[in-house]
Amino acid sequence: MDQKKHRILKTYFGFTQFRRGQEEIIDALLSGKDVLAVMPTGAGKSLCYQIPALILEGLTVVISPLISLMKDQVNALSGAGIPAAYLNSSLSPREYAETLAGAVRGDYRILYIAPERLLREDMRRLGEGLRIPMVVVDEAHCVSQWGHDFRPSYLAIAEFIRMFSKRPITAAFTATATGKVRDDIVRILNLEGPFLLTTGFNRENLYFGVERPPDKNRTLLAYLENHRNKSGIVYCSTRKAVEEICRLLNGRGFAAARYHAGLDDRERHKNQDDFIYDRTPLMVATNAFGMGIDKSNVSFVIHYHMPKNIESYYQEAGRAGRDGEPADCILLYSPQDVRINKFLIANNGDTEKDETLVNHNLELLKHMTYYATTDDCLRAHILGYFGENAPHFCGNCSNCTTQFENNDITIPAQKILSCVYRIEQRGRRFGKIMVINILKGSKSEKLLSQGLESISTYGIMAETDVHRLRTILDYLIEKEYLAQDGDEYPVVRLGPRWEEILRQKKPLSLMLPKERERKKPALAADEPPGDFREDLFIQLKELRNRLAQKARVPAYIIFSDASLRDMCRKLPQTPEQFLTVSGVGSVKMEKYGSLFTDRINAYTEANPP
């Protein structure tokens, strides 16, 4: 089994190694366990169920919320030589019947189904006549009303699964889910003893930036001018804003399409296809656009307005850089955004004036506003929101690059360690809050009743900001100058390296937010080209685009930009060498190998190293 999954990974998908978390999920599914996996956009969720689907006997059913997502996935699978199909409202009655008949015949290994169709009689008959080893729920957060994209049709999934005489393995996947939403997914989908995995929300290739420009239009135009010929999305809160920004961009010579729920289906589909197929590099849209868009070469996502919650923001921003290349996620913030969002929350018909849900959404808006206005590391703020520990300084966000500076923390560290040392001399240990309160000179009843004000370090950091003090304390724990014991009520004690600071007087420095008025961060500079041959990259893109047009599929279905870049670095000239390129499997080697190696050979002859 182990050899089989690795052989499928290379043969069909062109990779030699699994990404973080993928192999564990695949192994759990193949052992018959239910799964709930929270993996960020671009982490390779699809492979986690597609590989088991090719190993398990029968037809795997994937429940997916959007037509565009199904179409992209089926195109990609078909391009890799994997028989797959979808059932949704985009099919004519004849096409629907033919696809259903093909599923009954066993023509497919993977069938994507819209949740609205799950309880139809034809689905019941399909379940009775076929072996269904696994049901996959994509975008599983949609099942929870506390998630950012609740869909009532997802509540039918549990009943659909109960239709089968033999319960299939159930796998739920999502990119963004808080602990409360994860609990909802397990409960509502009736997952049985699921294997739970959160691979981490951090995507290091993404640059996060917050701007507070006096003129958003001028800032947006300046950014786009510096990123011409790059593909990107501009999100707006309202349909009116989408129309205005789209007109502005087209009027200034940028090729941009629009997308919102007020357009007719024909225009929405055309504009989406133009964006996916790289005919139009820019999409200006409301949050109605994007879920399931598997476009790998989006170089930036700009939020013209602040979204209503961090879940929405991170999912939308995460549509950038799916190929692993550096990409920008920029928020253009103004206080007016908060007022707009409060209005949208209070007047959302879907809530039916449910006061509890309105208050919940207003609380989520507060967290989003904190993100837009903080001086702390933006990445750490996002990861902390999802319950993930993160360094307080990432070095790749607008706050870290402009708001942080290297600080000598030797003396503050000595004071903190000395405080813990004095506490231990009394045979006592306390948690972080009490240590901080002693250092700050708190007059709380709990502190005074224990006589802790008599400790010599009481109040010696009274003038230090609490957040700054906590950051330094956490850093001392991280670097083992201090340690924590206990799970439910952890206490602080001296760590194995404490003497380096207190006795050896070792100097210590740390990147901390500047203690001054915030400056406006600059937008991320355009990424320089890699160490590959840019002129060859352009030639390979042209070849790829011609093949894509001929096959009537998006260009990234042929090869992603990341694969083309790898070709430009490795310069493969034989079939064997071409198979070493990331994303090249046996099927694509047979289809396209000679075309690309011929082009690379011609290039190297004309441009010898």
The band of 51, judged by pLDDT with boundaries at 50, 70 and 90, is very high
Q: For residues 345 and 330, give the distance between their C-alpha atoms in angstroms, rounded to a whole number.
A: 23
The band of 305, judged by pLDDT with boundaries at 50, 70 and 90, is very high
Show the DSSP H helices in 106-193 as ranges.
Answer: 121-129, 157-162, 179-188
pLDDT at 516 over 60: no
Q: Residue 138 in contact with residue 63, Cβ under 8 Å?
A: yes
- Give the orientation angle of helix 335-346 with respect to helix 355-373, to 10 degrees: 170
In this predicted structure, what is the pLDDT of residue 196?
A: 92
pLDDT at 394 over 90: no
Q: What is the mean predicted confidence (pLDDT) over 348-358?
A: 64
Q: For residues 419 and 428, give the distance between their C-alpha atoms in angstroms, rounded to a whole number.
A: 12
Task: Decide: helix, strand or coil at residue 60.
Answer: strand
Q: Residue 65 in contact with residue 73, Cβ under 8 Å?
A: no
Comparing 2-198 with 534-606, is the CATH topology the same?
no
Which residues have a Cβ under 8 Å from the Cβ of 8 and sit 6 or more positions away?
51, 54, 55
Segments making up each domain of the chain, as ranges: 2-198, 206-391, 405-513, 534-606
Q: Residue 327 in contact with residue 300, Cβ under 8 Å?
A: yes
- Identify the CATH class of 534-606: mainly alpha
In this predicted structure, what is the pLDDT of residue 409?
A: 92
* pLDDT single digits (tens) 141-194: 888 877 666 788 888 899 888 888 889 999 999 887 777 888 999 999 999 999
Task: Tell whether domain 206-391 is in CATH 3.40.50.300.
Answer: yes
* The CATH fold of domain 2-198: Rossmann fold (3.40.50)
With tokens 């007109």, the residue in question is 247
C-alpha Rg value of the chain to the nearest Å: 27
Query: How does DSSP classify residue 204?
Result: T
Task: Tell whether domain 405-513 is in CATH 1.10.10.10.
Answer: yes
Q: For residues 483 and 475, give the distance between their C-alpha atoms in angstroms, rounded to a whole number.
A: 11
The band of 311, judged by pLDDT with boundaries at 50, 70 and 90, is confident
Q: Amino acid identity, residue 279?
A: R
Tokens of 472: 């330094």
In this predicted structure, what is the pLDDT of residue 79?
A: 84
In this predicted structure, what is the pLDDT of residue 385?
A: 86
Q: Residue 197 in contact with residue 25, Cβ under 8 Å?
A: yes
With tokens 């030699």, the residue in question is 16
**How many residues belong to the chain?**
609
Mean pLDDT computed over every residue of the chain: 86
Q: For residues 322 and 299, give the distance between their C-alpha atoms in angstroms, rounded to a whole number.
A: 9
